[in-house]
Amino acid sequence: MASPHVHVASDMTDGFPSTPIPRPYAPPRSLYLATAGVSLFLAVIVLGSILAPRVFWDGFVWKYVWGPVVADSLGMEIMGARAGYNPVNTALYAVLLPLMVAWIYVLFRRLRISFDTGMIISLLPFVVSGATYRVLEDMGVFRPPGGYLFIAPLIYLLLGAFALGTLSFSALREVMQSGIRASNPRASDRPFFTPLVSAIWSVSFSSIFVVSASPGSYPAPSPLSPVLLALLVPPAVHFSLRPLVRVEGHHLAVFSTGCGLLAVSLPPIVSGFFEGGGGGLLMFAAILILASAAAGSFLLAARLLSKRPGLSGLSAFALPTSILIMFGHMLDASATFVGVDIYGYREKHVLPRLLMGLTGTAAVMYLLKAAIIGLVVYILENDVRKEIKDATVLGLLRFTILVLGLAPGLRDALRISLGV
Maximum distance among all Cα pairs of the chain, rounded to whole angstroms? 92
Question: Do 58 and 130 fall within a single domain?
Answer: no
How many separate domains does the chain show?
A: 3
Q: How many CB atoms are located within 10 Å of the residue 10 CB?
A: 8
Consecutive H or E run containing 17 = strand 16-17
Please state the rounded mean pLDDT for residues 104-110.
Answer: 88
Domain that holds residue 95: 28-75+83-113
**Which residue, 247, 273, 299, sits at the end of a domain?**
273
Question: Higher pLDDT residue, 244 or 198?
Answer: 198
User: Do both 154 and 289 map to the same domain?
Assistant: no
Q: Helix 154-183 and helix 193-212: axis angle, to 10°?
A: 160
Residue 19 has pLDDT above 50, yes or no: no
Is the confidence at residue 5, as pLDDT, over 60?
no
> 380 and 397 in one domain?
yes
Query: What are the backbone dihedrals phi and psi of residue 213, each rounded to the nearest 5 degrees, phi first?
Result: -75, 145
283 shares a domain with 417: yes
> In angstroms, rounded to a whole number, what is the distance separating the alpha carbons of residues 101 and 392?
11
Closest CA to 193 of 227, 166, 163, 170: 170
Specify whether 262 is located in the same domain as 301.
no
CB-based contact 35:99 (threshold 8 Å) = yes
Question: Is there a domain that residue 125 lies in?
Answer: yes
Instruction: Mark whether 237 and 283 lie in a shared domain.
Output: no
Cis peptide bond upstream of 22, omega within 30:
no
- For residues 359 and 382, state if they share a domain: yes
Packing angle between helix 249-273 and helix 279-305, nearest 10 degrees? Answer: 130
Residue 280 confidence (pLDDT): 85
For the cut 80, the answer to whether the pLDDT of residue 278 exceeds it is no
Per-residue pLDDT at 16 exceeds 50? no
pLDDT at 251 over 90: no
DSSP assignment string, 267-294: HHHHHHHTTTSSHHHHHHHHHHHHHHHH
4 pLDDT above the threshold of 60: no
192 and 151 housed in the same domain: yes
pLDDT at 20: 44
The CB density around residue 246, as the number of other CB atoms within 10 Å, is: 6
In a domain, 20, yes or no: no
- Asked whether residue 11 is assigned to any structural domain, the reply reads no
**Claim to verify: residue 154 and residue 251 sit in the same structural domain:** yes
Quote the pLDDT of residue 242: 81
CA distance 19 to 378: 42
Give me the pLDDT at residue 303, please. Answer: 92
On whether residue 13 sits in a domain, the answer given is no
User: Which pLDDT score, from 0 to 100, does residue 248 have?
Assistant: 66
Q: 291 and 369: one domain?
A: yes
Task: Say which range, 88-92, 169-173, 245-249, 308-312, has the weakest mean pLDDT.
Answer: 245-249
Is the residue at 243 inside a domain? yes
H or E element that contains 103: helix 87-111
Domain end (from 273, 299, 330): 273
Percent of the chain scoring above 90 in pLDDT: 44
Provide mean pLDDT across the span 98-116: 87
pTM: 0.84
Q: Do residues 144 and 244 share a domain?
A: yes
How confident is the model over 191-202, as a mean pLDDT?
Answer: 84
- Residue 8 domain-assigned (yes or no): no
What is the average per-residue pLDDT within 125-153?
Answer: 89
* Three-state secondary structure call for residue 81: strand
Which letter does DSSP use for residue 221 in this model? S
Structural domain ending residue among the three candidates 241, 273, 305: 273
Report the distance separating Cα 353 and Cα 394, nearest Å.
30
Q: What's the pLDDT tens digit per position in 388-409?
A: 888 888 999 999 999 999 999 9
Is the model's pLDDT at 233 over the cut of 60? yes
Single out the residue of 136, 150, 146, 155 nearest to residue 267, CA to CA: 136
pLDDT for residue 410 is more than 50: yes
Contact (CB, 8 A) for 241 and 252? yes
Answer yes or no: is 360 within a domain: yes
126 plus 269 within the same structural domain: yes
Confidence band, pLDDT 50/70/90 cuts, at residue 334:
very high
Residue 256 lies in a domain: yes
Confidence band of 256 (pLDDT split at 50, 70, 90): very high
Q: Which residues make Cβ contacts (< 8 Å) with residue 105, sequence separation at least 6?
A: 115, 392, 393, 396
Please say if the pLDDT value at position 175 is more than 90. no
